Amino acid sequence: MRRIVVKASIATVLSIAASLGLAMSIIPLLGGVVDGNAWLMTVLCPLLIAFPASAYQFWQHERLRTARDEIGRLHGELTRAHAALAQRARRDGMTGLLNRESFFGDASRLSAQDEGGALLVVDADHFKTINDRFGHPAGDAALLAITAAMKGVLRKGDLCGRIGGEEFAIYLPGTTDAETRVIAERLRAAVAAVRFEAPDGTQVPLSVSIGGARAGPGRNFEQVMTEADRLLYKAKRRGRDRVAFAGRVAQAA
């Protein structure tokens, strides 16, 4: 309000100055005399008209500016909320990893552009036993422990998603076969090193089986997924807690 009064006062002073200037230049040209009444009118009329008119105009301008600022603020909040919701829709609610649809979409696009990469399918071993013996909350805690162990191994730029109840998928961009085997083995070892305790205090060993397949340009991603899945079950059949990649099964140490 103070700013409006100051602006209106300045506008009024300028109006009075303009009115005085016109009176002093025009009235003599018309043969009149600028007397007391003329002086009074040149000051009083701008004062009575210019101040309220300019004050109202500046008030309206302030209202519009405030409204624009508020609209801008709300638009920013809506944009951030929309982005947060969109990001949340891409994530698995429990682990925070990419959900199945988002992972396959991102990995498929990345593999089509990548000069060389690999897909790993990771499955928690004997997970049904944990759920049946200790309950689903313990199973959820085990999945979170597995997720944390894998995150500690993965590099920046690697994609990781939860694609089933206890099944995960990882896309490793720009890796050779040798690098892929090393990362897969580190994932397996990191999970095996977890010391997981059930609610009753029982120490429950955790392990994962991993199947991997080469991805990249010219390879259909669905076929890559099928191959990785086939190798996963090969690792399962060989005793679990193993990595199977390109026809080779690496046993747990």
In this structure, the answer to whether residues 12 and 32 fall within a common structural domain is yes
Task: Look at 24 and 169; give whichever has higher pLDDT.
Answer: 169
Could you give the number of structural domains in the chain?
A: 2
Lowest-pLDDT choice from 79-93, 118-132, 143-157, 218-232: 79-93
> For residues 121 and 179, what is the distance between their CA atoms, to the nearest angstrom?
16
As annotated, the active-site residues are 166
Where in the sequence is the domain holding 119, given as residue range(s)?
100-250
pLDDT above 80: residue 67: no
Q: Which of 27-36, 105-114, 159-168, 197-206 has the lowest mean pLDDT?
A: 27-36
pLDDT at 253 (0 to 100) = 46
CATH number of the domain to which 195 belongs = 3.30.70.270
242 and 169 share a domain?
Answer: yes
**Over residues 174-183, mean pLDDT:** 93
pTM: 0.69
Domain boundary among 61, 89, 117: 89
Give residue-wise pLDDT tens across range 81-122: 666 666 677 899 999 999 999 999 999 998 888 778 999 999
Query: 40 with 129, same domain?
Result: no
